[in-house]
Amino acid sequence: MTQPRRAVFLDRDGVLNRAVVRDGKPYPPGSVEELEVLPGVTEALERLQAAGFWLIGITNQPDVARGTQRREVVEAINDRLLTLLPLAQMFVCYEDGTTCPRRKPNPGMILEAAAQFMIDLPASFMVGDRWSDVEAGRRAGCRTVFLDYGYAERRPDPPADRTAADLPEATAWILLTAFNNKEKRRGNPG
C-alpha cells in the first residue's frame, strides 16, 4: 500500500505569478504575455520538492463564468506555469459565487487533489494571498500560510498558521515545521 504523501497547495495569482493589482485588489494576468513568475518562486518550489512535497496549484478563475476571460487563456497560462515550475497539476474552479464546492473558500479542489494523489492533509500546507485561500486550506485540514501583500480586502479570520512576505519566506517556515514534526514523530525532542 502506498504511503500518503505530503503536499503544498499553492494559489496561482499572487503566489506563483505576479497578480495585477488595481485599486488595492489582485487580478490574474490577462494573457500568457502578461504572466510573470514571482522572484524566488522557482527556487522555493525546488526546495519543497527536494524535501518530498507534492506541489499542486489550486486556483479560482471566476472571470470565465463572468465572461471577462476566455477559458483557453486561463488554460494557456496554467500550461505555461506547469512548464516553468515543478507542479504536479493545476486544479481550477471556473465558477462564480459561493455555492460551488470546488470554489475557494470551499475545500473541494484540495479534497479532489488529495484523493487523486493520496495526500495526507494534516501533514500538508496551503499557501495563498487571500482570505479564501487560507479558509479553503483550513477547511481541508491543512496548515495555512498567508502571503500578506496588504490588499484592500478582507483578511483571514481566524488568521493563518503563519503570515509571510512571499513564497521563499513561507517555504522556510514550511520546511522548518515539517522537519520539527518529523522529529517529534520519531520521538526526538523538537
DSSP characters over 64-100: HHHTSS-HHHHHHHHHHHHHHS--SEEEEE---SS--
Q: Find the largest Cα–Cα distance for the chain.
A: 55
Domain 7-186 of CATH type 3.40.50.1000: yes
In the predicted structure, residue 144 carries a pLDDT above the cut 80: yes
The stretch 91-114 carries a mean pLDDT of: 94
Q: Where are the domains of the chain?
A: 7-186
Distance of CA 130 to the CA centre of its chain: 10
pLDDT score at 59: 98
Q: Do 120 and 6 touch, CB atoms closer than 8 A?
A: yes
Q: What local confidence, expressed as pLDDT, does residue 185 receive? A: 55
Q: What is the DSSP letter of 188?
A: -
Q: 117, 108, 114: which is closest to 135 by C-alpha?
A: 108
Residue among 123, 151, 144 nearest 58 (CA): 144
- Catalytic residue numbers read 11, 13
**Structure-block grid coordinates of residue 157:** 479570520
Residues 19-42 have pLDDT tens digits of 999 999 999 999 999 999 999 999
* Whole-model pTM over 0.85: yes
Count of C-beta atoms within a 10 Å radius of residue 189: 6
The pLDDT score that the predictor gives to residue 3 is 79
The beta strand positions in the chain, using DSSP E, are 7-10, 20-22, 25-27, 54-60, 89-93, 125-128, 143-147, 162-164
Query: What is the per-residue pLDDT across 43-99, written as a single tens digit (0 to 9) for each?
Result: 999 999 999 999 999 999 999 999 999 999 999 999 999 999 999 999 999 998 878
What is the four-CA torsion angle of 16, 47, 171, 43, rounded to 10 degrees? -40
